Structure 1
Amino acid sequence: MVSGAVARTWAGFVMMPLTVIKVRFESSLYSYTSMWSAVKDIHRQGGFRGFFAGFGATAIRDGPYAGMYVTVYEVMKRRLSSLASHNTSSAEGTKSMTSSMASSVNFASAILAGTTCSAISNPIDVCKTRIQLQPERYRNLLHTGYRMVVEEGFRSLWRGLGLRMSRKALSSALSWTIYEELIRRYTSSYSTRQSLKSV
């Protein structure tokens, strides 16, 4: 859990300049003609630090998100695996789970974990985007959250929740399902090779 949080935070730091450029370029608040024009404008407004606007909020969002995601994913996988194994029995009566069933369990677990963690971290994500778009107006995470609630109401912290949940849940589900399947196949292949060597 901790390693996932550290890795996600470090990745967020490395990718932050690209994230800031992307957020600015896609926003209707700016009329950039190219990515290079966005780079020049960000540097002109905030210098080198401008490319790391919102990193504090990103770290607060991504660190706990990664740790929480892995935890929720593993819990859901155990519970869904238990249900699937309970409902699927082999001819000898022992509990078993097919490869396709395992993939379905992994996919469903990742969907549930992505949806849950996206919903919990959405307010921080909204604040992070505001800081990246208007760093001169929003100073930090607490200032941004407070100002949004006062000026726009509590619901403003949940803008884009549906889109973020669906995007995060689906991308996570695909990634984890493929990852788990590759691990399963490698383990199976390795076990087969080891058993052949021992013969």
Structure 2
Amino acid sequence: MDTTSDSQSSSDAVEDVLQDQKAAAKSAASSAKAFISGGFGGICAVLTGHPFDLIKTRLQTAKPGAYNGAIDAVKKALVKDGVTGLYRGVVPPLLGVTPIFAVSFWGYDLGQKCVVALTPDRTSPQFSTAEYAVAGFISAIPQTFVAAPVERAKVLLQIQGQAGGEVKYKGVLDVVRGLYREGGIRSIFRGTGATLARDGPGSAAYFAGYEITKKALIPAGSSPSDLNLGAVIFAGGMAGVCMWSIAIPPDCNFKVLKSRIQTAPTGTYTGIIDCARKTIAADGVAALWKGFGPAMARAFPANAATFLGVEASRKALDKLF
């Protein structure tokens, strides 16, 4: 009996098991870091971008003639509620920001793993632009099921009380209770299809734009971890601009329709196509582009803050585990 050979085979088997365990632990740690850093980055995004988002939502849902433009909407918000009025409705995204952004960045990490798994014969660990985009699109799928109800609650809080309207809800939990009484779970998740149709291509452009910009800023002979904060901020801002530049028509139009579907009384629209038809009939095609200015103004600073928060927290987490 060749005991030496048997011993070697046993040793190799143990080594393989240990390698698999290390790979699994590394993968789990990577997912956990992506989840936590994504949540922190989302908080940074909300605090930076919420005033822009509030003005955009009011422009998208207001009756014709209510505002002369974004500047007029800001002035009226400040006169009526002061500076704090620009943060009306901020509680829902802050409460939901950790799961939404955490799931998004966790989904992006998962998307990258899927790309690697689907290309076992790859010769380079570096991703192409298309592969970054695929991973980004995958990130939008789990994110949507968290984002849709949170955004529905947010826009309902943002628009109440404008133009002398009724203040119906006291907070996010009151919104959720009211929506459930009106139409059950379906009412809470109204607008999910429109959210996914918007966020799929948007996320693909978002993450691909960030990775490509970051790669271009890396000095020769350096690694991504060597990038300074200025480069991270610029790459993050460009990620937001890329998202809008590539997905302007569907993104802007779907946001208008999604906001109207989510804020309209139950039964107003049978779906996104019905909403588009009625919106165009009532306000013209230009109605689909309402809020475009504030959205573009928000794109750079909010997303720069997002990736700055993500990268800073990720470095801190790398030191912990």
TM range (shorter): 0.7 to 0.9
Change (3 A) 1:146 1:118: same
Change (3 A) 1:36 1:151: same
Structure 1 CA distance, aligned partners of 2:155 and 2:176?
11
User: What does 1:72-151 align with in structure 2 at a 5 Å threshold?
Assistant: 72-85=107-120, 88=121, 96-97=123-124, 102-134=128-160, 136-151=167-182
TM-superposed deviation, 1:69: 1.3
Structure 1 CA distance, aligned partners of 2:169 and 2:52?
20
Residue 21 of structure 1: which of 22, 47, 55 is its match? Answer: 55
Contact 1:20 1:51 in 2 (8 A): yes
Structure 2 CA distance, aligned partners of 1:102 and 1:35?
38
TM-superposed deviation, 1:104: 3.1
TM-superposed deviation, 1:189: 4.7
TM-score by length of 2: 0.50
Query: Which protein has the larger Cα radius of gyration, Structure 1 or Structure 2?
Result: 2
Q: Which residue of 2 aligns with 1:91?
A: none
TM-superposed deviation, 1:184: 5.2
Contact 1:84 1:97 in 2 (8 A): no
Q: Which residue of 2 aligns with 1:162?
A: 193
2:157 partner amino acid: I
Change (3 A) 1:159 1:183: same
Q: Which residue of 1 aligns with 2:239?
A: none
2:48 partner amino acid: V
Q: Which residue of 2 aligns with 1:50?
A: 85
SS of the residue corresponding to residue 48 of structure 2 reads helix
Change (3 A) 1:35 1:80: closer
1:16 partner amino acid: H
Structure 2 CA distance, aligned partners of 1:80 and 1:16?
33
Tell me whether 1:12 sits opposite 2:38 in the alignment.
Answer: no
Structure 2 CA distance, aligned partners of 1:188 and 1:11?
27
> Aligned pairs, how many?
182
Change (3 A) 1:84 1:53: same
C-alpha deviations, 1:98-134, integer Å up to 9, x for none?
A: 96x7433322221111122022221111001101011
Residue 3 of structure 1: which of 19, 29, 37 is its match? Answer: 37
TM-score by length of 1: 0.77
2:110 partner amino acid: V
2:91 partner amino acid: G
Q: How much is the aligned-residue C-alpha RMSD, in angstroms?
A: 2.6
Change (3 A) 1:26 1:186: closer
Contact 1:115 1:166 in 2 (8 A): no
The higher-RCO structure (CA 8 Å, 6+ apart) is 2
| Structure 2: stretches of 5+ with no match in the other structure | 1-34, 162-166, 223-321
Further displaced range: 135-144 or 43-52: 43-52
Structure 2 CA distance, aligned partners of 1:125 and 1:117?
12
Change (3 A) 1:60 1:175: same
Change (3 A) 1:14 1:98: closer
| Structure 1: stretches of 5+ with no match in the other structure | 89-94, 192-199
Q: Which residue of 1 aligns with 2:71?
A: 36
SS of the residue corresponding to residue 45 of structure 2 reads helix
1:78 partner amino acid: K
Change (3 A) 1:11 1:109: same
Q: Percent identity at matched positions?
A: 20
TM-superposed deviation, 1:182: 4.5
